[in-house]
Structure 1
């Protein structure tokens, strides 16, 4: 059962597709188009990446359907090692491969006859915001980028071990020892679940916010565990995703974040580091997860205007 968190609009065609990335990992994806799309002409196209720990049946598909209604051809995908995409071990988290997944999506879209190769953009939600920007730093085929509730996962992982030198050393030694355990086990150990289950007023506010989406019918999908392999942190620490964000210029970036989002500082700091043209749009009263699925808060008109103007 696919368990999409939204109903498919009768005017939208959703086609299951697959292709391989540079590492020969089979990517499971959905292509959204309006039923009236003229395949004999070239169209603007968008790639939408899932929140960190999420899958294409959740927020990416919701965004894709609405943007397909506005005339874009839109591709959503499950990251490598996650969802219905290939790769072993399951739920592995890799900065390089998650960035590669965006370029592989460009490969696919740019070889469709009805897609204009000069008019491909990307939207990254949560952690995919950082991955989309990182891909765009070195892949000029991505002509315009929007992020929504962006997380810089490499910075987040670095912050998780930041403290005294002793704290950092202990954290890295613990992860290194875990590699021995994983090597001899049938499957690697996963991190704790980032989205709380059975939460109440005493639950950590961030864990509860994610739990209200991932752990309830609102956003639940059996492939979205909000967990990854526990030994992934060092790879992200060694791979600063946004180190060359200024290279994206003169291609435009639109950062979108809620004024009440715990993650707002990621967008603010990335905006400060990026070169022009760039824009930071804050959504009054919105939290981080509100922009996953609350369509009354998501600024779709602005998103459409941004990509129509810049693709």
Structure 2
């Protein structure tokens, strides 16, 4: 993707706000990948603004959830960007639909590079917001990048934990991991023979009664018109089967207890993934952390339901800490 294909049309799954200015921007990360982002700025703003970089969910693109967060927070007075991580969406990186605990953490840091050097931004007032799998990446970035002054995670997944241990740590044993690694490495051999990477299939396309409710919720967002997007891995053929392999042995958030900046962790009360946020919150130290459980909300409610996502709380948190 040496020549990026960047669309000029508004192709988000949410309506365009008349309260903000919008444009596409690009910047490189430390590995040389070019990231494409939507920048949102309050209309008629002339002052240097506090800024927020948004990304996620895992398998989504900036036209789905992170853009909604970014545009809404721009309406509330922040300069924001929502970016496509490396290997996804409009950003560069080959092969497509790969993930990396290192590179994807770097993506957040590259977004911070862009913001702290922008003429429109107060470089001492930059925060980040990670949704779903990029909530874990956001915490990881906050643990290494001291330029990040405040961090919000929403409906967070810890991608290293889910890949190495399965849901609710049900496969947290050496034999289960070994069998998984055998299957993944066999797939690597087949991919090399075939000259292309097999895809995992994305979110399930046909819903049956026996499926867990959260799988049905993912379908309703990613596959139905509500949230479908043609560039989204989740909405289409998914990640490469081996795309998340490195997460098994490369844990993120190893030093979350050393984060000195404020953290707000948000999760739905009825989300299947709630334990990720509660367990990561328990590791944080100091008095600058807060866990907000949204009553009755499931995991995907915090993707798109503007009457459920606590935007006022998020904006208040960033105003107080940026």
- Aligned with residue 282 of structure 2, among 272, 277, 280: 272
Q: How far apart are 1:2 and its partner, in Å?
A: 5.0
State how far apart, in whole Å, the 2-side matches of 1:76 and 1:139 are. Answer: 19
Match of 1:11 in 2: 19
Match of 1:287 in 2: 298
Match of 1:185 in 2: 194
- Aligned with residue 58 of structure 1, among 57, 61, 64: 64
- Structure 1 residues 253 and 3: alpha-carbon distance in aligned structure 2, compared to 1, 3 A threshold: same
- Structure 1 residues 268 and 164: alpha-carbon distance in aligned structure 2, compared to 1, 3 A threshold: closer
Q: How far apart are 1:163 and its partner, in Å?
A: 4.8
Match of 1:216 in 2: 224
Q: How far apart are 1:164 and its partner, in Å?
A: 4.5
Are residue 244 (structure 1) and residue 250 (structure 2) matched?
no
- Aligned with residue 53 of structure 2, among 47, 51, 63: 47
Q: TM-score, normalised by structure 1?
A: 0.95
Q: How far apart are 1:233 and its partner, in Å?
A: 3.9
Q: TM-score, normalised by structure 2?
A: 0.92
State how far apart, in whole Å, the 1-side matches of 2:175 and 2:211 are. Answer: 29
Q: How far apart are 1:165 and its partner, in Å?
A: 3.2
Q: Which runs of 5+ in 2 are unaligned?
A: 1-8
State how far apart, in whole Å, the 2-side matches of 1:281 and 1:74 are. Answer: 22
Q: Which runs of 5+ in 1 are unaligned?
A: none
Instruction: Provide Cα deviations, 1:2-38, integer angstroms capped at 9, x if missing partner.
Output: 5311111112111001111111111111100011211
State how far apart, in whole Å, the 1-side matches of 2:173 and 2:141 are. Answer: 32
State how far apart, in whole Å, the 2-side matches of 1:299 and 1:176 are. Answer: 42
Aligned to 2:243, the other structure's residue is in SS state helix
Match of 1:107 in 2: 113
Aligned to 1:138, the other structure's residue is in SS state coil
Q: How far apart are 1:136 and its partner, in Å?
A: 1.1
User: Is the contact made by 2:52 and 2:78 (CA closer than 8 Å) also made in structure 1?
Assistant: yes
Instruction: Provide Cα deviations, 1:107-162, integer angstroms capped at 9, x if missing partner.
Output: 11111112111100001000010001101111111110000000000000011393
State how far apart, in whole Å, the 2-side matches of 1:87 and 1:275 are. Answer: 36
